[in-house]
Amino acid sequence: MQAFHKDDCLATENGYVGYLRNINAAKGSAVFHPLALAPLQKARTEAYIQLRDAYQLLYNNEATLRAEHKAERETLNTLYDAFVKRYDNLNSADNIKVIKTDSAGKEMPYLERVVGGVVHKADIFHRPVSFSTATLATDNPDEALTASLNKYGAVNINYMAGISGMSKEDLKNALHGRIFYNPLEKEYEIAEKWVSGNVVEKAGKVMEYLSSQPDDKEVTQSLKALEEARPRRIEFEELDFNLGERWIPTGIYNRFASHLFDTEVRIHYTENTDDFSIHCDSRNIHITEKYAIKSQSRTYDGIALFKHALVNTTPDITRKETIGDREVKVRDMEAIQMANTKIDEMRKAFTDWLYAQNDEFKQRLTDRYNDTFNCFVRPQYNGSHQDFPGLDRRALGIEDLYPSQKDAVWMIKLNGGAICDHEVGAGKTLIMCTAAQEMKRLGLAHKPMIIGLKANVHEIAETYRKAYPHAKILYPGKEDFTPQKRLRIFGDIKNNDWDCIILTHDQFGMIPQSPELQKEILQAELDSVEENLDALKAQGKEVSRAMLKGVVLRKQNLEVKLKTLEHDIENRKDDVVDFKMMGIDHVFVDESHRFKNLMFNTRHERVAGLGNMAGSQRP
């Protein structure tokens, strides 16, 4: 028994050819049903089964172990050559008849590609197609740095010296200002990583290190870079304070609310649901009259309106009206406006109260703001050093890429991906094509894919072909993605080594996703929903029944989807090529906003434009 064996697949047993039925993957058992075949047909089918098994074992072993299996590849070539010599190509009419009777042979016709009327072997006959075997040798320090980031996710000076032939000291000098030594992690980091993020916190820790190692010149340079990048301090008078901002400690809200209502008020913030709960044991005239509004349906006291002020919402107040012979509920716009006025009074009172505090209080609050927000630096990417080997600038009609395009490509190469939100006409299409080819050349990606809108994908393919005329690109047309031809495209993607594959969003959506990955995604969503459900239950009566019921329903729906997937995995009967099997390891998405709107949780209800909390369900 092999993993690729399916019900109704061809097999051999004790010199007979037949089908496997009642396969039990857990036990590794099946029932063999022999066939009565003529001698010539039996010999053809046996040779085919040997070839199929050799292909499946080679691909599965290389995809699983990420290592080249030369002996198995030689076996595959030997069996294929012998089969073709005796029985013609796999796609000949007689052989297709045999393949169609085999449930495990759907991919076999795709081991051959017809180019210009000539049948060629797929790339899997020559090299692995599920991962990259490229080894990089370069005398360019920047390319050595990029390769190190891809292979190790960090700056590995030893590896860089090995592939570049340069000494460690020469590499450090050549990359001066591009890499810095991080004494906290005892490793080198690229400037884009070191001089970014919370530079204030980093600088403080580096200063502690230098207090015991004052003569470390490398670390001194690293500290200098952090200090030069530190943002200008924002003072108290420059800040805008809004009631309910999460960075302000709840202790301050406690003090202000107690001052506003002239009684003790306790406020608690729950991060999981991003919500506040308020407790007040003693209600006075400030709560029941001064900051309260009364409507036909109910009274909203100061505590209730203060809760709305904290979470930036407005109470949805209704009143009853008689229309004809029916009594209906309508929104009470006058009461809602009065509630908004009270909430605005509270917000203004909060700002006035803050400004009335002493200088020490203001200093602490200002420090907290700067330490929380005004300490981050965005990474700056400079890609001017890149040469882009193979780029045909003349065919594109340009002298060189724009500086912004070079920077974007460098950002993608360093980070293994990025979001490019350049304006229309800034050359995002060429950025995608160049970045894909560069990642392929440097071994950062094995089989990149670009997906775009139906209206734009032709332009992307044309740009790629102009930019890199010798690149091996797969760009199937609309007529190639019919249900009858789709499996061949999937097989071509899987069994060949492409520089890039270009599809439309719709075509990308037709690629089946592996049930295991779907299960992993759904499980992550279920874990998130369960965490939020626990947080909601902990708040007791503070949570509305509708909100709690909605989360419970979403949990039940996710559990049903998970059980369905688990059943599909256990009883899988087809072997359609899914996305995971294709070896695609990087996807560029043009117009990526089409894939936004993931699942989310919120306490807000009846908000226009909020969207579907279950997410868009796009692939």
Is residue 201 within 8 A of residue 223, CB to CB? The reply is: no
pLDDT at 366 over 90: yes
Which range has the worst mean pLDDT, 27-31, 127-131, 281-285, 578-582?
A: 578-582
**12 burial via Cβ count (<10 Å: 0-12, 13-18, 19+):** middle
Beta bridge partners of 318: 331
When pLDDT is averaged across residues 52-76 and rounded to a whole number, the result is 93
- The residue type of 305 is L
Q: For residue 552, is it left (φ>0), alpha (ψ between -120 and 50) or beta? A: alpha
Contacts 24+ apart (CB under 8 A), 124-129: 124/55, 124/58, 124/59, 124/73, 124/76, 124/495, 124/496, 125/73, 125/76, 125/77, 125/80, 126/73, 127/68, 127/497, 128/62, 128/68, 129/59, 129/447, 129/494, 129/495, 129/496, 129/497, 129/583
What stretch of H or E contains 12? strand 9-13
- Rounded to the nearest integer, the mean pLDDT of the chain is 86
Question: CA 470, CA 392: separation in Å to the nearest integer?
Answer: 10
Which range has the worst mean pLDDT, 6-10, 31-35, 604-608?
A: 604-608
Task: Write out pLDDT tens, residues 142-179.
Answer: 888 877 876 676 789 998 998 888 999 999 999 998 89
When pLDDT is averaged across residues 372-392 and rounded to a whole number, the result is 87
- Hey, which of 75-84, 105-114, 326-335 has the most confident mean pLDDT? 75-84
| pLDDT value, residue 565 | 63
- Strands 586-589 and 448-452 turn out to be parallel
| pLDDT value, residue 529 | 74
Question: Domain boundaries in the chain?
Answer: 9-125, 141-229, 237-370, 381-512+576-619, 515-575
Question: CA 448, CA 349: separation in Å to the nearest integer?
Answer: 57
For the beta carbon of residue 296, count every other beta carbon within 10 angstroms: 12
Q: For residue 161, is it left (φ>0), alpha (ψ between -120 and 50) or beta? A: alpha
pLDDT at 359 over 60: yes
CA-to-CA separations, 76 to 69, 177, 243, in angstroms, rounded: 11, 51, 70
Is residue 476 within 8 A of residue 496, CB to CB? The reply is: no
When pLDDT is averaged across residues 192-213 and rounded to a whole number, the result is 90
For the beta carbon of residue 588, count every other beta carbon within 10 angstroms: 24
Sign of CA dihedral 486, 491, 494, 499: negative
Task: Write out pLDDT tens, residues 578-605.
Answer: 788 888 989 999 987 766 666 565 655 5
Which range has the worst mean pLDDT, 37-41, 77-81, 484-488, 545-549?
A: 545-549
| pLDDT value, residue 197 | 87
Burial 54-92 (b: 16+ CB within 10 A, else e): bbbbbbeebbeeeeebeebbebbeebbeebbeebeebbe
What stretch of H or E contains 87? helix 70-87
Question: CA 369, CA 246: separation in Å to the nearest integer?
Answer: 11
Is residue 346 within 8 A of residue 261, CB to CB? The reply is: no
Question: CA 410, CA 381: separation in Å to the nearest integer?
Answer: 7
- pTM score, two decimals? 0.64
- The residue type of 282 is S
Is residue 314 within 8 A of residue 606, CB to CB? The reply is: no
| pLDDT value, residue 468 | 95
| pLDDT value, residue 135 | 64
- The residue type of 28 is G
Which range has the worst mean pLDDT, 41-50, 312-321, 431-440?
A: 312-321
Strand, helix or coil for residue 165: coil
What is the biggest distance separating any 2 CA atoms in the chain, rounded to whole angstroms?
A: 102
> Which residue in this structure is represented by tokens 């807000």?
604
| pLDDT value, residue 500 | 94
When pLDDT is averaged across residues 338-345 and rounded to a whole number, the result is 93
Higher pLDDT, 513 or 56: 56
pLDDT at 207 over 90: yes
Strand, helix or coil for residue 137: coil
Which range has the worst mean pLDDT, 170-184, 452-466, 604-618?
A: 604-618
Question: CA 285, CA 292: separation in Å to the nearest integer?
Answer: 9
Higher pLDDT, 238 or 383: 238
| pLDDT value, residue 580 | 80
| pLDDT value, residue 330 | 85
pLDDT at 406 over 60: yes
Q: Which of 409, 427, 562, 577 is nearest to 492 (CA)?
A: 577
* CATH class of the structural domain 381-512+576-619: alpha beta
Of all residues in the chain, the percent with pLDDT exceeding 90 is 46
